[in-house]
């Protein structure tokens, strides 16, 4: 089932957003290093020839190194009253400066019959010209990978500077951070806040364990609306208490659970185990008699396997970390994925080669059917 989940992760329009930035970063650097920063060429003629050979040879390590070098040299926060080691989202490749509004109009274009037509990217999902390390995790991970592959420690050190500064300087009074697709750290104002969403597991808590404890409890106190039922919403306010319910999606829920496991390892507070158990119970309450799980209580008619596969893989990984302390809870975490896998396999026979595209993962719970004219539904029921 790990292979099936991986397949969905690669094909999903939502989940592959976690993977595509790696390739995107490597491609972007081609434009970055081949352009001029202001009026000073970045490369000498000999270096340009060497660069062309690297591209022709698909030398991805050299390409990734060039991208990381460019971001370290030109992509840092040099704006506003206080400068920081944060990286800027969106840089003009011709000037080395951050891009500024008005931003380009962006639409999703259909690439095959039945795909969703011209849906405009929401302005609220853009943090161009500002900073959000949670959405920039691919860059930080590339830099750590470069250090492991090349032996040059400076790449990992530069990534850690960003992560450490963020954790020490941007945590709000309720323990959360201004990150997660809809908000960001405003580099001009040296502040941030807005619609919080926690989609990715943050891997740098070892640099600031006290921030982890504050954040983990902030999730429980200010992201979960009802501690008795586990009801939560993927959106909350990063700066003030104000959680709501009805949008208990698998990716923020599993990111919360992973964070509580991390916090429990550092400080074995039983409240973290209770929080994990409550979210798992909430999800089980959304499962029907045939094992099909609704993605949230606001979309009870749907099942959405690709979202579950992301959560299941996270839960499997983090169950290992608490298996010794609480094997019952660890087994409950693993059972989430097993049940979702079994339910999907019961209806999967007619979903694995739709118009030659691949598996369809969103379907109606009552019938196991989907709309073949809306293949965008492979990414989620909305």
Q: What is the pLDDT of residues 67-90, one digit of tens each?
A: 999 999 999 999 999 999 999 998
Lowest average pLDDT, out of 81-90, 299-308, 354-363, goes to 354-363
Is pLDDT at 104 greater than 70 in this prediction?
A: no
Counting DSSP H helices and E strands in the chain, the numbers are 11, 12
Q: Tell me which residue range forms the domain holding 276.
A: 2-379
Question: What is the C-alpha separation between 108 and 116, in angstroms, rounded?
Answer: 8
Nearest residue to 232 via CA among 251, 214, 215, 213: 251
- What does DSSP say about strands 36-37 and 40-41: parallel, antiparallel, or unpaired? antiparallel
Average pLDDT for 274-288: 98
Question: What is the rounded average pLDDT of the residues 331-347?
Answer: 94
Indicate whether 369 pLDDT > 90. Answer: no
Alpha-carbon span 176 to 174, nearest angstrom: 6
| Distance, first Cα to last Cα, the chain | 26
Cis peptide before 359 (omega within 30 of 0): no
CA distance 319 to 102: 46
Task: Name which of 16-20, 236-240, 313-317, 337-341 the model is least confident about.
Answer: 16-20
Average pLDDT over residues 194-202: 96
CATH of the domain at 229: 1.50.10
Domain total in the chain = 1
145/102 Cα distance (integer angstroms):
35
The pLDDT value given to residue 21: 38
Q: What is the DSSP code (8-state) at residue 208?
A: -
Looking at the chain, which runs of residues are DSSP E strands? 36-37, 40-41, 76-77, 84-87, 107-108, 119-120, 185-186, 191-192, 195-196, 236-237, 302-304, 362-364
Mean pLDDT of 351-357: 64
**pLDDT at 121 > cutoff 60:** no
Neighbours of 233 (CB within 10 A): 20
């Amino acid at each position: 089932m790990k292979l099936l989940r991986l397949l969905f992760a690669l094909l999903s329009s939502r989940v592959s957003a976690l993977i595509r930035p790696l390739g995107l970063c490597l491609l972007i650097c081609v434009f970055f290093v081949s352009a001029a920063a202001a009026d000073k060429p970045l490369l000498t003629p000999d270096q340009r020839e060497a660069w062309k050979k690297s591209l022709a040879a698909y030398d991805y390590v050299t390409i990734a190194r060039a991208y990381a070098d460019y971001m370290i040299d030109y992509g840092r926060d040099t704006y506003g009253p206080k400068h920081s080691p944060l990286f800027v989202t969106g840089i003009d490749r011709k000037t080395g400066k951050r891009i500024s509004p008005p931003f380009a109009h962006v639409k999703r274009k259909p690439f095959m019959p039945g795909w969703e037509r011209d849906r405009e990217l929401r302005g609220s999902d853009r943090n161009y010209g500002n900073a959000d390390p949670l959405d920039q995790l691919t860059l930080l991970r590339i830099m750590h990978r470069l250090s492991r592959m090349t032996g040059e420690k400076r790449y990992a050190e530069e990534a850690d500077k960003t992560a450490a500064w963020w954790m020490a300087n941007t945590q709000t009074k309720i323990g959360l951070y201004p990150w997660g697709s809809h908000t960001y750290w405003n580099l001009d104002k040296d502040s941030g806040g807005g619609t919080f969403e926690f989609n990715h597991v943050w891997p740098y808590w070892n640099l600031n364990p006290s921030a982890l404890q504050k954040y983990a409890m902030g999730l429980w106190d200010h992201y979960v609306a009802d501690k008795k039922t586990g009801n939560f919403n993927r959106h909350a306010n990063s700066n003030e208490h104000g959680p709501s319910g009805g949008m208990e999606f698998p990716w923020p829920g599993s990111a919360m659970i992973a964070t509580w496991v991390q916090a429990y390892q550092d400080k074995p507070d039983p409240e973290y185990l209770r929080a994990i158990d409550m979210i798992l119970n909430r999800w089980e309450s959304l499962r029907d008699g045939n094992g099909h799980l609704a993605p949230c209580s606001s979309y009870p008619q749907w099942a959405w396997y690709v979202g579950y596969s992301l959560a299941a893989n996270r839960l499997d990984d983090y169950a290992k970390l608490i298996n010794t302390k609480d094997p019952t809870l660890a087994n409950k975490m693993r059972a989430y994925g097993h049940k979702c896998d079994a339910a999907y396999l019961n209806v999967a026979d007619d979903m694995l080669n739709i118009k030659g595209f691949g598996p369809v993962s969103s379907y109606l719970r009552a019938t196991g059917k989907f709309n073949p004219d809306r293949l965008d539904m492979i990414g989620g029921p909305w």
